[in-house]
Amino acid sequence: MSAIRLLVLGAVRQHGRAHGYQVRNDLEYWGAHEWSNAKPGSIYHALKQMAKQGLLHAHEIAPSTAGGPPRTEYEVTQKGTEAYFALLRESLTAHDQKMDVLSAAIGFIVDLPRAEAVELLRMRVRGIEEWRASVTEYYTPKEGPESLGHIGEIMNLWVSSADYGAEWTRDLIRRIEGGAYTFAGEGEPFVGVLAEGEENPYATGEPHKGDTL
Amino acid sequence: MSAIRLLVLGAVRQHGRAHGYQVRNDLEYWGAHEWSNAKPGSIYHALKQMAKQGLLHAHEIAPSTAGGPPRTEYEVTQKGTEAYFALLRESLTAHDQKMDVLSAAIGFIVDLPRAEAVELLRMRVRGIEEWRASVTEYYTPKEGPESLGHIGEIMNLWVSSADYGAEWTRDLIRRIEGGAYTFAGEGEPFVGVLAEGEENPYATGEPHKGDTL
DNA sequence: TCCCTTCTATTCAACTTTGACTAGGGTACT
DNA sequence: AGTACCCTAGTCAAAGTTGAATAGAAGGGA
């Protein structure tokens, strides 16, 4: 599963109502083009697909206020909200190894209550540990690790970066339990969208050397 | 870019001549189903696509020796060999963050001379360092890191795991410079394919709890 | 003998992703 | 008053990915 649905649902949800270009801009504001496959085509596709599946409701809008083709505005439905939270929870717990999914989920983690966030992250750590145990046991050859030759480096890479992911998650749990950030039901939420007309300080003006993700 | 083309080209190349099912088996033997999107559909698609593009030559073969539908055997062409090495070099140097590509490249790294392997990995480290510098400079807000709220955790995740990737690469360089493994032109190469009829010790018999990558 | 499962080998439709393209309107220079 | 360029907003064809389906042969038990 890719991160795009979660990102798009989350973005539309924060706006209440949004068209494709707004979503695209928010994601860029969050730096999502750096760490996910949130390209225009994917965003518009996800919007249409989710509208077809009843997760979003599409409002046809007259030609735009500021040039360009007619827009469609979307709103998250009840079903869409449920799908959003299901996706969010799954993305936090699954030790997918796919960092874009985790990144997106971290971006929306404050939509959950603090206690649940911690609980889900603990499940993530447990999942990683189990995966590690199962994989190292399963792939350890009888004739000693040398028999794998350089292929063993691949295992090494995956296992050690899973370890690193677990460590990072534990640190994050510590920060959250230490009171960092503002979670659901704790007053004024953090606002991660651009207001109408507000300038995006992180826009891709200069294509910013090193952007090839 | 995904890892599939590199994996498939590399697998066919090691066999000299191979049909889809053989490729699929080799990839499973290498554990590629654990860390890449090397599913049957993708493999057959890649074979056909690369045949169409002249990277592989397709031999139509009579119905198989051991049941099942008629097979097609593939052979890497000159153009395919060039593409293979181009892909391999790019996958080793690009700090893609996509671990499946790196994993595949590590699997074939011994097809290069030792000195070139080291040089490419050094380029990788440099690439990561540049990316890190550019990204931290670009995304550091004027009002201090707190102004990003929990969104800052995403940056933290990406930057610190890039650091980890650089560290791992440096370690690998050290091991290679220390004489580990057998590279191109250094005599008997490591054989990573199954002989005809040889049993795959890592076959997906038990679906192996925790396989959800 | 008949049926059930497993292995070999591949195909297919549905879905997702990519990168390039379209098109109207504003802005700034010549 | 032309034209070159950028911004807004979105479409599209081609490519890639997924998961399920297909189909023949072989093995094994009731």
Find the CB nearest B103 among A99, A157, A160.
A157
B41 CA vs C15 C1’ separation (Å)? 14
Q: Is the C-beta atom of B19 closer than 7 angstroms to strand C?
A: yes
**Lateral strand order in the sheet of A56-63:** A18-19, A70-76, A56-63
Q: Average pLDDT for residues A83-106, to the nearest whole number?
A: 94
pLDDT at A142: 65
- The lowest-confidence range among A209-213, B140-144, B193-197, B201-205 is A209-213
Q: How far is B54 from chain A (nearest CA, A)?
A: 27
Q: Average pLDDT for residues B48-71, to the nearest whole number?
A: 81
Nearest to B38 by CA among B116, B100, B105: B100
Query: Which stretch of DSSP H or E encloses residue A45?
Result: helix A40-52
Q: Is the C-beta atom of B69 closer than 7 angstroms to strand D?
A: yes
Partners of residue B201 in chain A, C-beta under 8 Å:
141
Nearest residue on chain B to A147, alpha-carbon basis? B190
Q: What percent of chain A has pLDDT over 70?
A: 81
> Mind listing the pLDDT tens digit for each residue in A69-90?
678 999 999 999 999 999 999 9
Rounded Cα gap, residues A198 and A213, in angstroms: 27
pLDDT at A82: 96
Q: Average pLDDT for residues B113-130, to the nearest whole number?
A: 97
The CA–CA distances, whole Å, from B152 to A69, B16, B86 equal 35, 50, 36
Q: Is the C-beta atom of B197 closer than 7 angstroms to strand D?
A: no
> Mind listing the pLDDT tens digit for each residue in B21-54?
999 999 998 889 888 999 999 999 999 999 999 9
| Contact by Cβ (8 Å): A103, A34 | no
Q: Is the C-beta atom of A201 closer than 7 angstroms to strand D?
A: no
Partners of residue A162 in chain B, C-beta under 8 Å:
none
pLDDT of B97 > 80? The answer is: no
Q: Which tokens sit at A16?
A: 């209440």
pLDDT of B127 > 60? The answer is: yes
Q: Average pLDDT for residues A49-71, to the nearest whole number?
A: 80
- Strand D proximal residues, A:41-60, Cβ < 7 Å: 41, 44-45
Q: Average pLDDT for residues A190-209, to the nearest whole number?
A: 45
Residues B59, B65, B70, B71, CA torsion sign:
negative
pLDDT of A213 > 50? The answer is: no
SS3 A212: coil
Query: Which stretch of DSSP H or E encloses residue A56?
Result: strand A56-63
Nearest residue on chain A to B154, alpha-carbon basis? A103
DSSP state of A206: S
pLDDT at A60: 81
pLDDT of A196 > 70? The answer is: no
Nearest to A26 by CA among A207, A203, A193, A196: A193
Inter-chain touch A190–B151, beta carbons under 8 Å: yes
pLDDT at A145: 62
Predicted TM-score (pTM) of the model is: 0.87
Given pLDDT bands bounded at 50, 70 and 90, which one contains residue A128? very high
pLDDT at B165: 94
pLDDT at B145: 62
Q: How far is B27 from chain A (nearest CA, A)?
A: 12
Given pLDDT bands bounded at 50, 70 and 90, which one contains residue B135? confident
Nearest residue on chain B to A97, alpha-carbon basis? B213
Q: Is the C-beta atom of A102 closer than 7 angstroms to strand C?
A: no
